[in-house]
Amino acid sequence: MNRLASVLLALTCALLLPACGPSECTPDNCRDGCCTAEAECIREQRDDACGLRGGAACEGCASGSVCHLQRQSCVVGVMRTQVQPIRASILDFNPWDEEDPDWDLDGSPPDVVVEMRCPSAPERSRTETVQSLEPRWSSGSCEVVSSNLLKNPIEISIFDVDDFSLDDEFGTIHYQVTPADLNRGWFEIDIPEAVTSLTFFLSHTYSEH
């Protein structure tokens, strides 16, 4: 039976060669990543696969150290990521109110705020209010340990502040940040139907503690 199994395995390997045994990972085919011992090209640097681009060997960072995404090498300490909502595009009418499609009674643009609940952050963060269909913000970020950001989603709410009635909610979603987002330094989402795009910057700091 064992023998039959190994014959079958050998046959499978012969038919599906790339799936068995390592193929090659070289500076040529891994210019934008590092190569693991299994000859996999890793393009999104992370703590368990960290190494110089151009096909250098990836290494796993030891306990107490993290992958420095710019240096592409392990450094002792903790990595933190600041998440900052920077801009959005809002639909120019309220898709849920056919009778009165203006966001505000006087026909002015919505007064847009983003609130976030970030993983293990003590409180919600909130941007300033910006009256525009294309709002931009520079406050209301959160800063969290990057490994937490990869484990738990951010709760993101965006709405039009109204003085004399309930705020107009555009939507609330949970977004899970990925290693690709951390490497890129930003991510963009949409929230159907009112928010056609909402962009966040991710900036990283490294410290001993």
Instruction: Tell me the three state secondary structure of residue 46.
Output: strand
Which one, 70 or 165, has the nearer CB to Ca ion? 165
Does 181 help bind Ca ion (rule: CB under 5 A)? no
Binder among 47, 90, 168, 191 for Ca ion (CB under 5 A): 168
Does 47 help bind Ca ion (rule: CB under 5 A)? no
User: Rounded to an integer, what distance in angstroms lies between the CA atom of residue 6 and that of residue 12?
Assistant: 10
Which one, 72 or 131, has the nearer CB to Ca ion? 131
Does 112 help bind Ca ion (rule: CB under 5 A)? no
State residue 35 phi and psi, 5-degree precision. Answer: -105, 130
Direct distance between the N- and C-terminal alpha carbons of the chain, in angstroms, rounded to an integer: 55
CB of 191 vs Ca ion, minimal distance in Å: 16
Q: Residue 195 forms beta bridges with which residues? A: 90, 191
CB of 95 vs Ca ion, minimal distance in Å: 13
- Quote the tokens at residue 97: 């109110």
Residues at the interface with Ca ion (CB under 5 A): 103-104, 111, 160, 162, 168
